[in-house]
Amino acid sequence: MGLRPNLLTRRAAGVASTTLALLLSTAAVGVVPAASAFSAAPSEVCAEPADVHSDARIKKGGIAKHEPNELTAKQVREREADLAAALRERASFRAGAQAAAPLASVTIPVVVHVIQRDSTRAGGNIPDSMITSQISVLNQAYAGATGGAATAFGFQLTKINRVTNPAWYPIVQGSSAERSMKTSLREGGKNTLNVYLGELSDDLLGWATFPQRKLNSMDGVVVLSESLPGGTAANYNQGDTGTHEVGHWLNLYHTFQGGCSGSGDSVSDTPAEASPAFQCPTGRDTCTTAGLDPITNFMDYTYDSCMYQFTAGQASRMLTAWNAYRAA
């Protein structure tokens, strides 16, 4: 496939801006208000309910002391066991009945909820054009058009739902307000991607739920509205937070999951990585195992200008999970 026209620009910009970005990183932190402005206690943020595994993307130097939703080794073991069980369940169902064959290509309906405090841009009122640009970014990324492997997935915007509710703005990760927002707004079945856009708590760029066998009203992705293409989140405004969070929604872990040992992110063609990479640290190599750190992978934490690919192994893992969890 051809490269996205601005790919070379993006890659070059990521490399060239690394030094400058180091100088500017303190300033970039100020994009989202400090966590202390929000009501969620640290214990609420960090204690993820067992039934709502989710994962997040955070800016370097954020206020949050640690990533609120990085999975523990135990959570990964549970998720991998559940995936195996879901696949067995589907296989026995197919053998005994007329279930549909596994899908090889998938168009995902997308419902976008724009959470606003008021009608101002600062209050969350972003234009429709940013949302349609975000859908284009998803389609290019998942088609492999930016330089990575093609995946099975395409995205079709079916609805933009604008909601003005100061009680849901900012969206506070793990809060009862997040739960009531999603319970009120979520639409569609397991195959429908619900995206919630707004200002976010804890310096977060976004978070997402992993697939589950039983549909949960929390299912979906939450994305900082100003991270959409053309937004104001410096270094994170080309739409790749959306790409990253949808990757979790399709069952991908971070490339740095598990560090240098063990099965890492459960994908064999993403080299192991000791910790998240930020900015665009070309040549970073934190593990003695083969391969440089996958800093250009959408499932790392680098700048949008730096990340442009999924691997074939990630594409395969997402399709397997789709057929296990989200296919009709």
Based on its alpha-carbon atoms, the radius of gyration of the chain, rounded to whole angstroms, reads: 19
Exposed/middle/buried for residue 272 (C-beta within 10 Å: 0-12, 13-18, 19+): buried
- Can you tell me the distance from the alpha carbon of 85 to that of 323, in angstroms, rounded to the nearest whole number? 13
Q: In whole angstroms, how close is the CB of 58 to Zn ion at the nearest point?
A: 8
With respect to Zn ion, which residue has the nearer C-beta, 55 or 293?
Answer: 55
> Which of 48, 67, 178, 245 does the annotation list as catalytic?
245
Is residue 245 part of the annotated active site? The answer reads yes
Minimum gap (Å) between residue 188 Cβ and Zn ion: 23
Footprint on this chain of Zn ion (rule: CB under 5 A): 55, 57
Q: Which residue shows structure tokens 């204690």?
A: 47
CB of 55 to Zn ion, least distance (A): 4
Using the minimum distance from each CB to Zn ion, give the nearer residue, 108 or 205. 205
Residue type, 94: R
Cβ atoms of residues 277 and 300 within 8 Å: yes
Task: Collect all residues with Cβ–Cβ distance below 8 Å to 61 and sequence separation of at least 6.
Answer: 25, 26, 28, 29
Residue 55 or 199 with smaller CB distance to Zn ion: 55
Q: How far apart are alpha carbons 121 and 62 in whole angstroms?
A: 23
Both structure tokens of 79: 């998720």
Let me know: does 298 contact 244? Beta carbons within 8 Å. Answer: yes
Indicate the residue among 61 and 166 with the shorter CB distance to Zn ion: 61
Rounded to whole angstroms, the Cα distance separating 127 from 130 reads: 6
Cβ closer to Zn ion: 198 or 206? 206
Provide, rounded to whole angstroms, the least separation between the CB of residue 54 and Zn ion. Answer: 9
Least distance between Zn ion and beta carbon 198 (Å): 18
Q: Among all chains, which residue has been given the structure tokens 């969070």?
A: 245
User: Could you list the active site residues?
Assistant: 245
